[in-house]
C-alpha cells in the first residue's frame, strides 16, 4: 500500500496520509466515509489523483482511495436536454449522430479510469466524449471539474450523478440540472466535502462519427472545416496526438506529463473588463460567451507576462517545455515549490494585465491565494 500521496497523484507530490483505506465497491466507499465522519476525522476521497495538489505534509485524516469498477448499460434513452445552470448561460446542446439516434445510457463507477472508458465508447460507436480522449484521472472526477477539452464538456452528455451526501448520510441521484455546471466547475467543486461521487450516468449517441466539431485546432488536425464531423476513431487519434505534443498525456518517458494538466482556467471577463484588457494587450485572444462575457487565453497571458515554457528550475518545479499552462514536477520538486511558482505566475499576470488567474486543481493542505 502507498506510504505517501505522491504515489497516487499525477504530479507525484504529497506527503503521507494519516490513514489510507481502499474501497473497491460503492458500499465500501460509503462505509469508509461514514466511519470517518462519525469519528470526526478529516476525509479526503481520492481516485485518479490527476487534478489535485497535496501538501508536502500530507493529509492528517483518512484518505479513501476509490478503486470501484464497472460500466453498466441501462439501455436506450432520449438524449439529455441542453443544460441551463441557475444564473448561467445555456450550455451547448448535446452532440448528436447524423440520424439523431437514441442515446445509449451508461452508468459508470466513479473509480473507473476515464481514458479507457472513452476508448471503449469510441470502439463501440458511442459519440459524445471522443474529444475528451487522453485525459488522465477517474470518471468520478469528471462532473466535479466539468471536464472539457477541444469543444466538449462532460456536462453535455451527463444525465445524473450518484452521490453520498455527507451532511445527511443519504445516497441519492442528482440530476444534471442540480449539478450547477459552469466552465470547469460544478456544485461539487464549489462546495467541497459535501458530496462523494459514487457513479456517473452518461447518454451517448450511437453512431460512427462525431457531432459537429467546434474546436478550430482539432478541425485543422483532421483536415476538415469547423462544424464538420469526423469518424470517432480519427477524432480520438487526433486529440491524443494534440495532447501528447503539449505534454498532456501521461507518459513515463515524458517529464512534461508529470503535472496536473492545465493549472489555470481561461479567464472569463465581462465586457468592460475585457475592454480594459484589450487596451493593455492588443491582439489578446477572444471567444465570446453566450451571456455577453468574453473568454480569453490564460496561456497567452502567461507567456506575454514573461513566463516562457521551461521557466523555473529544471530539476524541481518548472513550467512545461511544451505548454505554458502546465506546471510540472521535474523529479525533485515539492508542493511548496509548485505553489510558489503558481503564485509567481498569477501575480505576474495580474501585474501586467490586471487579470486574475484561477487554478483548476483542487488544493489539499494549501489555501490558494496569489500575493
Catalytic positions are 184, 262, 360
Cell numbers 471577463 correspond to 269
In the structure grid, which three cell numbers stand for residue 31, read together? 462505509
Of 204, 330, 320, the closest CA to residue 264 belongs to 320
Report d(CA 27, CA 253) in Å as an integer. Answer: 37
**Distance from C-alpha of 188 to C-alpha of 194, rounded to nearest angstrom:** 7
d(CA 318, CA 333): 9
Between helices 335-353 and 271-280, what is the axis angle to 10°?
90
- CA distances to 104, 146, 196, 371 from 164, in Å: 25, 18, 5, 36
248 closest CA partner among 113, 116, 136, 119: 136
| CA–CA gap between residue 360 and residue 147 (Å, rounded) | 10
Q: Is 311 helix (H, G, I), strand (E, B) or coil?
A: coil
Residue 85 burial by CB count (10 A; 0-12/13-18/19+): exposed, middle or buried? buried
55 with 12: CB under 8 angstroms? no
Q: Measured between alpha carbons, how far is 160 from 203 in angstroms, rounded to an integer? A: 10
Beta strands 59-66 and 158-165 are: unpaired
Q: Are 304 and 240 in contact (CB under 8 A)?
A: no
Amino acid at each position: 500500500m502507498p506510504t505517501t500521496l505522491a504515489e497516487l497523484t499525477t504530479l507525484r507530490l504529497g506527503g503521507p496520509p494519516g490513514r489510507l483505506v481502499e474501497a473497491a465497491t460503492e458500499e465500501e466507499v460509503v462505509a469508509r466515509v461514514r466511519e470517518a465522519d462519525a469519528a470526526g476525522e478529516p476525509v479526503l476521497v481520492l481516485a485518479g489523483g490527476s487534478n489535485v495538489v497535496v501538501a508536502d505534509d500530507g493529509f492528517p485524516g483518512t484518505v479513501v482511495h476509490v478503486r470501484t469498477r464497472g460500466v453498466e448499460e441501462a439501455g436506450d434513452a432520449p438524449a439529455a436536454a441542453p443544460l441551463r445552470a441557475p444564473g448561467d448561460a445555456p450550455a451547448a446542446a448535446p452532440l448528436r449522430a447524423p440520424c439523431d439516434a437514441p442515446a445509449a445510457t451508461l452508468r459508470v463507477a466513479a473509480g473507473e479510469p476515464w481514458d479507457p472508458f472513452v476508448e471503449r465508447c469510441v470502439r463501440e460507436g458511442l459519440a459524445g466524449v471522443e474529444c475528451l480522449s487522453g485525459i488522465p484521472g477517474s470518471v468520478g472526477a469528471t462532473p466535479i471539474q466539468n471536464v472539457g477539452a477541444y469543444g466538449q464538456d462532460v456536462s453535455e452528455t451527463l444525465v445524473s450523478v450518484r452521490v453520498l451526501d455527507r451532511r445527511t448520510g443519504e445516497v441519492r441521484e442528482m440530476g444534471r440540472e442540480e449539478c450547477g455546471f459552469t466552465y470547469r466547475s460544478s456544485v461539487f467543486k464549489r462546495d467541497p466535502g459535501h458530496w462523494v461521487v459514487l457513479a456517473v450516468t452518461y447518454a451517448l449517441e450511437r453512431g460512427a462519427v462525431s457531432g459537429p466539431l467546434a474546436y478550430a485546432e482539432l478541425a485543422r488536425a483532421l483536415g476538415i472545416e469547423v462544424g464538420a464531423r469526423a469518424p470517432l476513431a480519427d477524432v480520438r487519434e487526433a486529440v491524443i496526438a494534440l495532447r501528447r505534443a503539449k505534454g498532456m498525456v501521461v507518459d513515463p518517458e515524458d517529464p512534461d506529463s508529470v503535472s496536473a494538466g492545465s493549472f489555470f482556467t481561461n479567464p472569463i471577463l465581462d465586457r468592460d473588463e475585457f475592454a480594459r484588457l484589450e487596451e493593455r494587450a492588443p491582439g489578446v485572444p477572444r471567444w465570446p460567451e453566450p451571456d455577453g462575457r468574453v473568454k480569453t487565453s490564460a496561456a497567452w497571458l502567461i507567456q506575454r507576462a514573461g513566463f516562457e515554457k521551461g521557466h523555473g528550475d529544471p530539476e524541481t518545479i518548472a513550467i512545461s517545455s511544451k505548454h505554458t499552462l502546465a506546471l510540472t514536477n521535474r523529479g525533485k520538486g515539492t508542493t511548496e515549490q509548485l505553489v510558489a511558482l503558481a503564485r509567481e505566475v498569477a501575480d505576474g499576470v495580474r501585474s501586467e494585465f490586471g487579470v486574475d488567474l484561477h487554478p483548476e486543481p483542487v488544493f489539499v493542505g494549501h489555501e490558494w491565494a496569489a500575493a
